[in-house]
Amino acid sequence: MSVTVSRPLRPAALACALLACAPFAGAVHAADSGDSARTLDSITVVAEREPGNFDLDRGEIELTQASDLSDLLSNESGVAVGGGSPVAQKVYVRGFEDTMLNVTIDGAQEPAELYHHQTRVQIEPEFIKSIELDAGAGAATQGAGALTGAMRVRTRDAFDLLRPGQDAGFLIKGAAGGNSSKGVLAGYGRLSDHLGVLATYVYQDGGDYEDGHGDRVKPTAFEHERAQFKLSGVFDAHSFDLSAEHLDDTGTYYERPHMTNFTGRYILSDHQMRRDTVSYEHRFDPEGDAVDARFTAYRTRSSYENRRNTTGILYSWGEQTSTGMDLRNTSTWDALSLTYGLDYRGDRLHARQQATPPPFWGRTEQTARVFGAYAQGRWTPSPQWTLSAGLRYDDYRHEGKSGVSAGAKNSEAKASPNASIEWTPIEPLTFRLAYSEAFRGVTIREAFFSALYTHRGDLDGEQADNIEFGVSWEKDGYFARATGYRQRIENYISAVYDGGAAWGYWENIGTAKVEGYEAEIGKRWQRMGVSVGVWNSDNTFDDRPLNDADLGLGTSIGRTWTARFDWQPASQHANYAVRARLVEDERNSIAPTAPDKPGYAVVDVMANWNLLGDDRLKLSAAVNNLFDRFYYDHGTYGYQAGSGTYIGFPSPGRELSVSLTYRF
């Protein structure tokens, strides 16, 4: 069912092998065609979205053979993903780390920050329906505390998987590549004309990968499990989704999972990350324009544990539970639409750390809540003009219940406005100017540091403002678009070492800024598309460039060029694609004597085929890093000044992934 090729594969041989499969897929289709045949999901480029804002659909996710965050996001404009095992992959949007990005899965917020040496975003690509990213502080509907934007993940339901006329079905998938293997099972069906149920299970066994020099990178092996149950209902004016999802990632890594060592310390720890999310979303859209309502309620529990591999002694542990809701309605009057609503989230953290000398071992229990009210309007007085404006008001409360920070209280409320104007002087050409603010009051921060650093109740909330100017043009399949932006984040909160009776304190330490641009040009035909893009972000903190040591805030990433090519043959039962990324050298400000971050170029190729002419049997293949380059992603913690060595994980070398999916 699956094939693994890690080193000897040559580019020319690969290209021949992939192209050779095309007539085979067409021949099989010719022998088994009919009116019931369904085509593969198409890959589309949405020209209306600004650069840096993207919308990944299911077809793109399947085509890339995505198994982790790097596979999903690395080729998107404005995004970088650090290297190493999946548990170590940090996401950067416009150079800022994802700790300031609002992430929701099926409407459920995922706010927990657990450990600054590991990823924060824990998702499984296999049953994702779509991913939307709005970069930068923006609309009031992004949610509370969206300092650098929002990422919304939607998962599939039974109705997405059922074929027309089908009442029940099963999906079996096997995949292998890059010294890892994955198995996927799903069962789905109709309970009635209006109700559908989906149950899924994913297991992945990932081995240590090889870098571009052919060396095995240790320790990067992992085990990943994901299970989900989803009940969906579709009625006349009502629809709903009830979802329960469980993810579990385990592995043996160094005590800092995204570093090979720290000041020469190679200490192994057994590491576990877990997330359990229950969410309910109800939609009510009767006839008429006054009501289009949505209610979401959720509970998310995120936890991690890090124990010494040789002794089993606890290094650190943390668990955060978040419970919340969002109630909104959209009303439309001719050229005006208005979305307004209320949201709430309450968080509770329990954490403990024994990573320091024993006198500073600590634990904490903290609570936080935020209540928000918001409205966002959009008015199109004429075909040439569109005006948008919004306002949200957020009230934050934070309290240390016990342990470190016991008795400390912080509270603050603030309003955040936004406004934008779009002008279309001629139909293919649009200009856009936007200004927005976002506010994040004092809330629960990273679990590990919360058991080590003390709150004193004297913090101000973080305030972001963002201004963007964009232009887009589209005609006869050609498109071009560009955006320039400048954003500030004032009163940034971080943990500061003290060295006295307390290890350190949470403090407002300064102002982070970014100035940058993103641009893309391309052409779409009926069955083919090509585009080239570039993005660059200059991130600073108190007027110095960000570097890899600014954990939780961001880093400096070289100017990045991206290219895409997609082709679907006339049979419409195959897809072929190429993704390329070139990152230029970037000055490394971590130390005056530090070498520059070296640039790199990476090419990925991918294809899939419907072997029976419909979606019952699908073969997919992808080769990442086709030319087997050795490189450190600029989102990886690379050079350490103290030791004068690279302590981050190099990215994987050439990897071939192959999967076979059978639906019946």
End-to-end CA distance of the chain: 17
Per-residue DSSP letter, 211: B
Burial grade of 289 (CB within 10 A; 0-12, 13-18, 19 or more)? exposed
Report residue 99 as tokens: 């700790």
Phi and psi at residue 65, in whole multiples of 5°?
55, 40
Whether pLDDT at 48 is above 90: no
Count CA within 13 A, CB hemisphere, residue 331. 5
Question: What average pLDDT does range 422-442 have in this prediction?
Answer: 97
Q: Is 179 left (phi over 0), alpha (psi -120 to 50) or beta?
A: left
Amino acid at 663: R
Least confident of 169-178, 256-265, 316-325, 436-445: 256-265
Cβ 492 vs Cβ 463: under 8 Å:
no
The helix (run of H) or strand (run of E) holding residue 160 is helix 158-161
Distance between CA atoms of residues 355 and 316, nearest Å: 7
Whether pLDDT at 6 is above 60: no
Per-residue DSSP letter, 625: S
Cβ 112 vs Cβ 302: under 8 Å:
yes
Question: What average pLDDT does range 471-482 have in this prediction?
Answer: 96
Whether pLDDT at 42 is above 50: no
Residue pointed to by tokens 């302590």: 647
pLDDT digits (tens, 9 = 90+) for 236-259: 999 999 999 999 999 999 888 888
Whether pLDDT at 87 is above 90: no
Task: Name residue 103's beta-bridge partners.
Answer: 151
The helix (run of H) or strand (run of E) holding residue 132 is strand 128-135
Whether pLDDT at 516 is above 50: yes
34/649: higher pLDDT: 649
Phi and psi at residue 28, in whole multiples of 5°?
-65, -40
Distance between CA atoms of residues 467 and 289, nearest Å: 32
Tell me, what's the pLDDT at 333?
94
The helix (run of H) or strand (run of E) holding residue 180 is strand 180-190
Distance between CA atoms of residues 423 and 301, nearest Å: 44
pLDDT digits (tens, 9 = 90+) for 578-599: 999 999 999 998 888 889 999 9
When computed from its CA atoms, the radius of gyration of the chain, rounded to whole angstroms, is: 25
Whether pLDDT at 313 is above 60: yes
16/297: higher pLDDT: 297
Cβ 69 vs Cβ 119: under 8 Å:
yes
Amino acid at 446: E
Helix/strand/coil (H, E, C) string of 508-573? Answer: EEEEEEEEEEEEEEEEECCCEEEEEEEEEEEEEECCEECCCCCCCCECCCCCEEEEEEEECCCCCC
Distance between CA atoms of residues 537 and 459, nearest Å: 29
Cβ 330 vs Cβ 338: under 8 Å:
yes
Report residue 177 as tokens: 């590549």
Helix (H, G, I), strand (E, B) or coil at 21: helix
Question: What average pLDDT does range 311-340 have in this prediction?
Answer: 96
Tell me, what's the pLDDT at 38?
30
Fold type of domain 11-663: Maltoporin; Chain A (2.40.170)
Tell me, what's the pLDDT at 4?
33
Asked if the peptide bond before residue 425 counts as cis, ω within 30 degrees of 0, the response is no
Beta-sheet strand order (sheet of 79-81)? 79-81, 91-93, 96-97
Tally helices (H) and strands (E) across the chain.
5, 33
Helix (H, G, I), strand (E, B) or coil at 449: helix
User: Among candidates 381, 391, 393, which has minimal Cα distance to 421?
Assistant: 381
Per-residue DSSP letter, 586: B
Distance of CA 304 to the CA centre of its chain: 19
Tell me, what's the pLDDT at 50?
58
Count CA within 13 A, CB hemisphere, residue 527. 12
Q: How is the chain split into domains, by residue range? A: 11-663
Count CA within 13 A, CB hemisphere, residue 516. 30
Tell me, what's the pLDDT at 34?
35
Tell me, what's the pLDDT at 389?
98
Least confident of 87-96, 468-477, 518-527: 87-96
Phi and psi at residue 94, in whole multiples of 5°?
55, 35
Distance between CA atoms of residues 398 and 634, nearest Å: 35
Question: What average pLDDT does range 300-323 have in this prediction?
Answer: 95
Tell me, what's the pLDDT at 61?
87
The helix (run of H) or strand (run of E) holding residue 308 is strand 293-308
User: Among candidates 501, 407, 499, 414, which has minimal Cα distance to 458?
Assistant: 407
Whether pLDDT at 649 is above 60: yes
Tell me, what's the pLDDT at 30?
36
Cβ 422 vs Cβ 449: under 8 Å:
no
Distance between CA atoms of residues 358 and 360, nearest Å: 5
pLDDT digits (tens, 9 = 90+) for 142-185: 999 999 999 999 999 999 999 999 999 999 999 998 789 999 99
Report residue 211 as tokens: 């870098």
Tell me, what's the pLDDT at 263?
62
Average pLDDT of the chain is 90
In order of 91, 211, 307, 458, 472, the CA distances from 208 in angstroms are 21, 10, 20, 46, 44
Q: pTM score, two decimals?
A: 0.88
In order of 106, 242, 286, 320, 331, the CA distances from 237 in angstroms are 20, 17, 5, 36, 15
